[in-house]
Chains A and B, each alone.
Chain A
């Protein structure tokens, strides 16, 4: 009906299917038996870990939504002391890997950490086991992941028409009422998108939960594989995570409803000014979040690394850094390119449900723990090898395992969700009037994409690329299993040292990661100064 619309383009279908390969491989594990182990898990771990996973998701979800939204609203809508630098500073925690933050928090706040030692000795309070219960790990996750909601909500608040808020003010609504009745409802899709990413990331996490010795679904996945050497059951359990993620996406879509928000206008006018003590109170609140989530951990990492810098530093760091940079940048470029293509069909008025479902399926890799994704890919390659051998060819396993191609494929598959979230949101925001004009003027499909869609999607593409780059930089399990010889990254160095309990030495590569992450944010911000 419409030659401009990519409603059911076969190439897009194939692309989505390819990205979703690991999901299919993991789900196909249900064809294999696993009964005995399931019975054992059902008797021992499952009840406990389902309950604690639900508590964790609920606590983290609530926490990041509230914190991320409030912070975003404050920096966009209110003028208070320090709002300008805090607006950027609040992005910085992105650069710290969750497991690094967790080991810093444990080092400072656990029973033997100096915060508790001081509390006991100076204040005479009793000590406590920070890893018991749920609250400490929930707080850690909130401080690690709030930037996802903050970033998306902030972009959404920026696009809100200032005159709607002015109208609210003229009608005498209080700032809090305007926040609840105008700003939050308009930003709901953005908050939900940030929340979705957070929940998927929490579900798939293994680093933080193992440092806290907390039980989530990944505990059972790693137990099935690590303890009982059953890849089948590990994959079966992991496919349940994918199912949960699928429902989360479904509810997010439903919550968004049919509402469309066309706008790329950005206003820099802040409708409210907080003077006097209220201003300083707001500053103190935002600054506290920044301190806890970034400044304090970084300071601790710097202190640790100063002690052992001479011992740990060597020429190898050039190679760690180069591998990290090359993998990070090429994975980001590749992932957003695919994500941009996958976002094109959403321009159609009558979207094909099957294609949309397929595209969503291709983003579910984000809920898979990295190592399950990596093993899934290895088995995927194995199947191709079987076919190749059947037709008299040879096995491809040794060529593809440990090749950059497979590793990049793993990254694309794993991080498609965050790239697609960004590109799709920006594609949906393009006002139909632009493409109508282009078509009236006789533009070809190629020109329409190249000269209308791409420039208008650039902010989304850039934001997606940045998020993927930072996530790839922090990624550990898939990189650890699939990297080529000699391609050790900074994240691997951090892991190998901290696994041996050498946290001080691990601080050196961790610090480099944070610096590199901050540099990436700065660079992307420069490339797209108006809107990130």
Chain B
């Protein structure tokens, strides 16, 4: 019977696939394997360039930061990962506490990346800086009205503020930094003020925050600068502008994306070499141009659009603190009802 034959052949096919399963790619000795929560389209061009220059292949697996850390913990000493790359200081810090990394503090890394962007013990290094600051409508807000993150809690912004969800790691790290700078009570008052001033349910994406400001639903918001950079690249005359927050006080909250060599790397040498290359001026230029971020290597110039925003004072809080205080930040936001 026809249908029967189809069923049988589908079964045969699936057995074949399942059979060939554990053909885990036999990686050649010098291939470097990377687990990354930085998305594929942002890392693939870099690794391609590395292979072109050195002849060394890089294989990678993207995933969510927390998932990949869990996977590495369970894989233990047999993990295929030589390097772990992620997009938030809190994740880097957490991976450090879970004994996922080994210290690699080579001279090259020390000279390429400034100390405040590295783990003190050398477990991980930052590869790009991501600033989270105020974005505002140039039609309805004058920059003189803006000053600090705390100011957005003021009554004058009632019904004019848009924020990204508290579930996003960037929000968590920002609030963690506010707890560090203003204390638990100060932070609580600020977040409560923000929630009172919201014009809409917190958005799922930074890009939605900017869309909402452009559409007139709100007048100010908080975003990572590269989202703004992408928007401006597409629509240069959008009536939106960035404002550097807390310039008179603690400075703009910055986060890092970064990477470290795993504790059980089978190719630690290759991974270290890749990490050094990623911190080099040439790679850093590609790294930041792919996503309009700020380079961690200070000898590298930012993308033209990015440098047009000018220099700004950064919050020099040690980034491990963002990790340590993240759970407190979430507790605080959930208590206040910041969704």
Contacts and interface: CB of A to CB of B under 8 A. Distances in A.
Interface of A: 40, 43-45, 106, 110-112, 116-117, 127, 129, 131-132, 210-213, 215, 219, 222-223, 225-229, 231, 326, 329-330, 333-334, 337, 371, 374-375, 378-379, 381-382, 395, 397-399, 401-405, 408, 450, 454-455, 458, 461-462, 480-481, 483-486, 488, 492-493, 496-497, 499-501, 503, 527-528
Nearest to B326: A227
Q: What 4 A-B pairs have minimum CB-CB distances, sorted nearest first?
A: A501-B207, A398-B78, A112-B215, A112-B211
Interface in B48-69: 59-64, 66-67
Contacts of A455: 1, 3-4
Nearest to B207: A501
A374 B64 CA distance: 13
A442 B185 CA distance: 82
B206 interface: yes
Contacts of B300: none
A134 B337 CA distance: 17
Contacts of B202: 213
Nearest to A404: B21
Nearest to A450: B4
B172 interface: yes
A211 B3 contact: no
Interface string B6-22: 11001101100110111
A330 B200 contact: no
B22 A496 contact: no
A395 B78 contact: yes
B80 to A, nearest CB: 7
Interface residues of B, number: 67
A500 B37 CA distance: 12
Contacts of B78: 395, 397-398
B331 A229 contact: no
B25 interface: yes
A222 B167 CA distance: 9
A interface, by DSSP: helix, strand, loop or mixed? helix
A395 B76 contact: yes
Nearest to A117: B215
A461 B13 CA distance: 17
A337 B11 contact: yes
B25 A485 contact: yes
Contact of A225 (B18, B25, B66): B66
B211 to A, nearest CB: 4
B227 interface: yes
Given A129-B200, A129-B201, A222-B167, 7 more contacts: A131-B201, A213-B167, A375-B70, A404-B18, A497-B41, A500-B42, A527-B6
B308 interface: no
28 contacts: A40-B331, A44-B335, A110-B208, A112-B208, A112-B211, A116-B215, A127-B217, A132-B200, A210-B165, A210-B204, A213-B201, A223-B334, A333-B14, A374-B67, A395-B78, A397-B75, A398-B79, A399-B22, A402-B61, A408-B17, A455-B3, A480-B62, A485-B60, A492-B62, A501-B227, A501-B230, A527-B3, A528-B3
A110 B201 CA distance: 11
Given A333-B10, A333-B11, A455-B4, A399 B24 contact: yes
Contacts of A461: 7
A371 B205 CA distance: 21
B39 interface: yes
Contacts of A382: 74
A231 B206 contact: no
Given A485-B61, A486-B25, A496 B41 contact: yes
A335 B327 CA distance: 40
Contact of B217 (A112, A375, A408): A112
Contact of B339 (A213, A397, A499, A527): A213
Nearest to B203: A213
Nearest to A215: B339
A313 to B, nearest CB: 12
B100 interface: no
B22 A403 contact: yes
Nearest to B33: A485
Contacts of A496: 39-41, 62
A484 B60 CA distance: 10
Contacts of A398: 75-76, 78-80
A403 B21 contact: yes
A227 B206 contact: no
B212 A112 contact: yes
